[in-house]
Structure 1
Amino acid sequence: MNRRRQKKLARQLVGAATCGRTARVRALLDAGAQPETPDSEGTTPLYAATVQGALGAVRHLLAAGARPDTESGHGTEGTPLCAAACWGHTDTVHELLARGADPNLREDRGAGRTPLDRALSGGHAGTAEALRAAGAQTAR
């Protein structure tokens, strides 16, 4: 597949993941979109889906090979687990943890906040409890 086509598919996949369009995510993956390829802004499809709590899209991306700990953006976004925790998407947090996400991986290339920090600062007690059950700690 040529580079131009891959860039187009990446952009479309991030867009579909952002909107939680599970069927479109699946179709793009079937068409050859790579689950780890970021769009031109550096956003990965998995990160986009986790921000929205789009559990179906998250499952398809993980099944297609998206790694649960890949940081998104150019220092402005973070990890999928931090994103899901920040917004209180507990089901998505459970899915990422079940697929091997590190509950203590700090964003910003290891210098930032942990998923538990994100859940606590957002007031998401249920999400924080799920993270603690997986061994998560705060960065402090």
Structure 2
Amino acid sequence: MNQRRQKKYSRRLFEAISAGDVTVVKAFLRAGADPNRTDSEGTTPLYEASVNGKAEIARLLLTAGAAPDAESSGLGAEGTPLCAAACWGHANTVRQLLTHGADPNLHEEHGTGWSPLRWATEGSHSETADLLIAAGATPR
């Protein structure tokens, strides 16, 4: 697929993720949208879905090959998908990420920031913290 089309698909994929439109996300992934292509600021599609608690869309992106531990660098959207979901207590999204291989002990900011478990406990999201602990997350 040429660069121009891939860029167009990527932009529309982000629009569909923001709108929570599962049908359109499926269509663009089937058409060849890259689930790992960042937006112009460096945000990954999976981060966008995770921070907003869109578990079904996160599952679709992961199934299409999105890297579960890819860190975003977008302005106001820095970090890993699992940290983003844990921060806001999006338990169903956390489940999807863990099921698809996200590392429950991976600290964001390239290993120097908070872990998903710390985000969950600092935000008083006990269900999310329990899921992370069950997946092997350790406090550190």
What is residue 10 of structure 2 aligned with on the other side? 10
* Alignment partners' CA distance in 1, 2:139 and 2:72: 21
Structure 1 range deviating more: 16-25 or 52-61: 16-25
What is residue 20 of structure 2 aligned with on the other side? 20
Q: How does 1:1-140 map to 2 (within 5 A)?
A: 1-74=1-74, 76-139=77-140
TM-score, normalised by the number of residues in structure 2: 0.93
* Alignment partners' CA distance in 1, 2:80 and 2:57: 16
Residue 112 of structure 1 and its aligned partner are, at CA, apart by 0.6
Structure 1 range deviating more: 9-18 or 76-85: 9-18
- Residue aligned with 1:61, SS: helix
For structure 2, the 5+ residue unaligned runs are: none
Aligned-residue RMSD, C-alpha: 1.4
- Call closer, same or farther: CA 1:39–1:126 in 2, change over 3 Å: same
- Residue aligned with 2:72, SS: coil
* Alignment partners' CA distance in 2, 1:120 and 1:43: 25
- Residue identity opposite 1:109 in structure 2: H
* Alignment partners' CA distance in 2, 1:18 and 1:106: 25
- Residue identity opposite 2:59 in structure 1: R
* Alignment partners' CA distance in 1, 2:36 and 2:20: 17
* Alignment partners' CA distance in 2, 1:121 and 1:8: 38
Q: Identity of aligned pairs, percent?
A: 56
Residue 3 of structure 1 and its aligned partner are, at CA, apart by 1.2
TM-score, normalised by the number of residues in structure 1: 0.93
